[in-house]
Amino acid sequence: MPTYITTPIYYVNALPHLGHAYTTIVADAYSRFRRLCGDDVRFQTGTDEHGEKIAEAAAKAGESPRDYVDRIAVAFRETWPLLAVEPDTIIRTTDGEHIRTVQAILQQVYDRGDIYFSEYSGLYCKGCERFLTEKELVDGKCPDHLVEPKPITEQNYFFRMSAYQEWLIDHIKANPDFITPERYRNEVLSFLSEPLEDLCISRPTSRLTWGIPLPFDEGFVTYVWFDALINYLSGIGYPDSPDFEKYWPTAEHVIAKDILKPHAIYWPTMLRAMGVAPYERLHVHGYWNVDATKMSKSLGNVVRPRELVETYGVDTVRYFVLREMSFGLDSSFSGEAVLARHNADLANDLGNLFSRSLTMIAKYAAGRVPERDSGSALTPDDRELMSALSAMVIQYRECMDEFRFHKALQAVWEVIGLLNRYIVTNAPWELAKHARQTDRLRTVLYFLAEALWKMTLVLGPIMPATAEKMAAALGMADRFAHAVLDDALEWGTIPAETALGTVGPLFPRLEKKGEAKAAPAEPAKANANTNRGAVADEGLIGFDQFKAVELRVAEVVAAERVAKSERLLKLTVRAPEERTIVAGIAQHYTPETLIGLKVLIVANLKPTKLMGIASHGMVLAAKEQTADGGERLVLATVAGPVAIGSRVA
Ligand code: MSP
């Protein structure tokens, strides 16, 4: 199946920001998703380079319009690889091919009698590059640009848009998916309940020369919206190219609510006048605000894609915007929100699940995906996991198809939670201790590998680089390159004996330090040393710093004195994996009294060697000053029954 997906073509009067990045990431994630479904995808973005706004911006910059648009178009083009966005076409409205197509269409519609010459008076908003109706104004001003539109009386050419009003209403009503989400469909229908005016599609060259000349009157250039919308056709070679035949019937446009009217009203009526079928679907999203305020240059809060990626990493940025915004509604961006999602969803939930599972396969199955034990029956846990995985893939597919990205990701993260629980309940480290449980151990490890492979497939469109890393670590890099989503619906797709590759941490924790910065290879960055600095500053630490310390409930299963040390005990604890911790409590506890005790540990401390023994963590204890100037240590424990390995927060 072909798929044609587009973003708006962006005005080159401003540099790319979070808003442009979001729409383009959405279109990229969707095109990767469709490719994963086996579709032949054409993904197009581009720049809108004509019109008054651009001519003015060029003059302000002291450049010719041509030099100016060339410069800014490059800034857009260079942004996409930073965001792992891979369009097939990047169109510019100053391309010769596009200009020829616009002129041919104007001539055709003119010849059919749908363009006429007349005088018009109206209220023009330069920011919107269109005439506004009285009804659209708020306190006499354009609600988007907060300026009073200028009254203009001019002789111009008009497109007979009103002639297609009834047809458009019928089309929208007959095709519930034509404009989604529904609130925007309703908005358009409500607008169409009033008579539609014809569309002014020219500007006299006395006022503006930076535009495409009308083919039938040299004294005029084309109105920028009539020019811009046609990019969706010229980019695929309308009218003669086989690409047009192939892709146009599947066209899907992604836009924000600011340009709903041109896309939902001008564009379908223009297509109708040309005798071209309307696009298939229009997906309309809301606006990103920053810290709950409108993003604007004058407020100085414009978020730039390059800075975002440098601070948080490209996959975190992609995940964040897709997970955080409910498609269709406005959303607020903040650095804290990105950090919180990075540390909780990515570093903790996904990252830990992945590294912990692979470590166990390395340790208990010599780094190869084991053969599932087919001799014994599946447990209820296994069945629950299998059906949750299939349900997740189906829900993911539905949600991605409907542009409900946050829901698709919610479904994936529910299964990540389930997998983390599956590990705790099946405790592979326990199974590994008993020879007669090796069959069960193999099955559990096999299920983990299979589940992680399915995760890799569904995460590909959202976080391409992470999914690639995951595939390589699972020994499935080759398969990943040609995988399809249907693979994730089958069971047993990761072959037994597959040799795992190596994996570093997928998402090193990030901490906030004025500017957030990566803490590579040192997940426990916010431990004593770093905190001390922060405490000295203000006496307080941020929640993220606290969250970076992974506290867990651990059960002591063995304890012994460390030879030649008065102070140290060697403890074996389960949290829930087994680990050794060397604790300086020998003067306060005898080894026997500790067995079975549930203590609190810092689980993500960098390993260290004490008296030649590697210690993986730290046991927490209260330190009391005694009357004789000494110290008494009392181990911290939990007040009631709780599963070992539980996180303390
Ligand atoms: N050139 C026209 C579009 C012509 S399409 C045939 C235009 N350009 S624009 O540069 O102003 O881009 C508008 C689009 O940028 C929005 O529809 C949306 O896709 C994106 N965004 C710009 N600011 C945004 C936010 N603050 N939030 C989310 N997206 C926003 O209009």
Ligand 1 mean position to 470 CA, how many Å? Answer: 34
Q: What is the largest CA-CA distance in the chain?
A: 104
β-bridge partners, 333: 290
Please tell me the residue having the least CA distance from ligand 1 atom 18.
256
Q: Residues with Cβ within 6 A of ligand 1?
A: 8-11, 19-20, 22-23, 48, 228-229, 231, 255-256, 258-259, 287-288, 295
Annotated catalytic residue 200? no
Residue given tokens 């319009």 in the structure block: 65
The answer, yes or no, to whether residue 11 has pLDDT greater than 50, is yes
Ligand 1 mean position to 20 CA, how many Å? Answer: 6
Distance from chain centroid for Cα 259: 22
Ligand 1 mean position to 257 CA, how many Å? Answer: 9
What would the pLDDT profile of 137-149 be if each residue is shown by its tens digit? 999 999 988 999 9
The two structure tokens encoding residue 487? 């693979």
Residue 93 vs residue 535, higher pLDDT: 93
The two structure tokens encoding residue 547? 């969250």
Q: How many helices (H) and strands (E) does the chain have?
A: 24, 28
Which CATH class name applies to 549-635? mainly beta
What residue spans in the chain does CATH classification 2.40.50.140 cover?
549-635
What residue spans in the chain does CATH classification 3.40.50.620 cover?
2-331
Annotated catalytic residue 297? yes
What was the pLDDT predicted at 164? 98
The answer, yes or no, to whether residue 245 has pLDDT greater than 90, is yes
Provide the CB-side half-sphere exposure for 324 (13 A, CA): 24
Ligand 1 mean position to 345 CA, how many Å? Answer: 29
What was the pLDDT predicted at 147? 92
CATH-assigned architecture of domain 334-489:
Orthogonal Bundle (1.10)
Q: How open is the CA angle 602-604-608, to the nearest 5 degrees?
A: 90
pLDDT band at 247 (very low <50, low <70, confident <90, very high): very high
CA distance 31 to 43: 7
pLDDT band at 204 (very low <50, low <70, confident <90, very high): very high
Q: Which helix (H) or strand (E) covers residue 386, if one does?
A: helix 380-401
Residue 279 vs residue 630, higher pLDDT: 279
Annotated catalytic residue 263? no
CA distance 313 to 192: 44
The answer, yes or no, to whether residue 545 has pLDDT greater than 50, is yes
Question: Strand 40-48 and strand 2-11: pairing?
Answer: parallel
- Nearest atom within ligand 1 for CA of residue 286: 28
What would the pLDDT profile of 506-522 be if each residue is shown by its tens digit? 999 998 754 434 333 33
Please tell me the residue having the least CA distance from ligand 1 atom 15.
20
Annotated catalytic residue 125? yes
Q: Is 173 exposed, middle or buried (0-12, 13-18, 19+ CB in 10 A)?
A: exposed
Closest of 42, 62, 47 to residue 16, by C-alpha: 47
What would the pLDDT profile of 518-529 be if each residue is shown by its tens digit? 333 333 333 333
Annotated catalytic residue 142? yes
Are 348 and 417 in contact by the 8 Å Cβ rule? The answer is: no
Q: Which helix (H) or strand (E) covers residue 223, if one does?
A: none
Mean pLDDT (the chain, rounded): 92
Listed range (91-100, 572-581, 606-615) with the worst mean pLDDT? 606-615
Closest of 431, 439, 451, 437 to residue 373, by C-alpha: 439
The pTM of the full predicted model, rounded to 2 decimals, is 0.80
Ligand 1 mean position to 130 CA, how many Å? Answer: 15
CA distance 15 to 74: 10
Instruction: Spot the catalytic one: 50, 98, 125, 616.
Output: 125
Phi-psi label, residue 402: left if phi above 0, alpha if psi -120 to 50, beta otherwise: alpha
Average pLDDT, integer, range 215-241:
98
Listed range (257-261, 487-491, 623-627) with the worst mean pLDDT? 623-627
What would the pLDDT profile of 155-184 be if each residue is shown by its tens digit? 999 999 999 999 999 999 999 999 999 999
The answer to whether the Cα torsion of 68, 74, 76, 82 is positive or negative is negative
What was the pLDDT predicted at 629? 61
Are 97 and 261 in contact by the 8 Å Cβ rule? The answer is: no
The count of residues in the chain is 649
Annotated catalytic residue 37? no
Listed range (70-74, 82-86, 534-538) with the worst mean pLDDT? 534-538
CATH-assigned architecture of domain 2-331:
3-Layer(aba) Sandwich (3.40)
Q: How open is the CA angle 459-461-464, to the nearest 5 degrees?
A: 75
Are 415 and 451 in contact by the 8 Å Cβ rule? The answer is: yes
